[in-house]
Amino acid sequence: MGRQYGDQQRQDDGPALAVPRHVACVMDGNGRWAQRRSLPRTAGHRAAESTVIDIIEAARAAGVEWLSLYAFSTENWNRPGTEVDYLMRLVRRVVRKHAPLLLARGIRCRFLGAADPRIPRELAQDFDDLTTLTAGNLGMTLTVAFDHGGRRDIVEAARSLIRNEIPADDVTERLFADHLPFPDTPDVDLVIRTSGEQRISNFMLWQVAYAEWVFPEAHWPDFRAPDFLACLHAYRHRDRRFGGVPPQTNGDPS
C-alpha cells in the first residue's frame, strides 16, 4: 500500500509521482487569523469551514487519492472549555451540512481517533453515520483526524501486538503497521502545515516518517485551492530518496 520500511525505498514506483498519493494537512492558524481581525478565536474556526471544502474539492480534482485533515488533537482538550464546546458544535454542523456533497463526490470518509468519552454522543454518532454512508464510495479517501494523537496510535498498536501474544522476534515494521488504526492507509507523501509553524504536533507519527513537508505562511482560513496546488507543485520538484542516494552518484559520497 505504498509504505516504506526503514531505509528500504519503493522499488516499483520509480521517481516521485507528479501528484502525491496521500496528502495530509495540519490546519493551523485559525485563532491567529481571528486575533489579527480583533475577532474571537471561534470566528477563525468558523471561517475555516470554507477552506476545508475548497481543499477537499481541489485535492479530488488534482487526483489525490488520500487526503487527511488534522481537525482536533488529543492535546486540544487542554484548550478552554468554551472553545472546545464550540468546536464540537461546529464540527457536528459541518459534518451534517456537507455529508450530501461528500457522498455525491464519491469520497469515502472516516475518522481517525474519536475515542474520547468527552466527545458528545451525538457527534460520535454523526461520525459513524457519515462513515457508513460513504463506505461504498470508490473515489478519494478523506480521513479526518479528530481526537487524534500519533503517540497514542503507536501505543495502541503495541498493546494490540501484546494482546495477540505475538513473539517479540516476529514483530516487523510491516506487522506493527498492520496493528495501527486503518492499516490500509498508505504512508503520507506530503504534509502541508499552514500559518508558517514548523512542528509535527503528534500528527500521524508513523505515517509521516518519509513525508515531504511544506509550510505556507497563510493561516488556514486564508488557504485556498491555488495555494494547495502550489504545494503540490513544490512536491513535484522534491527529490525523494528514502534514505538512499541518486542513482547517478553511484554511491560516491562526494
List the catalytic residues.
Answer: 28, 76
CA 155 – CA 158 distance, rounded (Å): 5
55 annotated ligand binder: no
212 annotated ligand binder: yes
45 annotated ligand binder: yes
200 annotated ligand binder: yes
199 annotated ligand binder: yes
CA 170 – CA 148 distance, rounded (Å): 28
56 annotated ligand binder: no
CA 188 – CA 182 distance, rounded (Å): 13
201 annotated ligand binder: yes
Binding residues for Mg(2+): 28, 212
Binding residues: 28-33, 41, 45, 73-75, 77, 79, 193, 199-201, 212
Binding residues for substrate: 29-33, 41, 45, 73-75, 77, 79, 193, 199-201
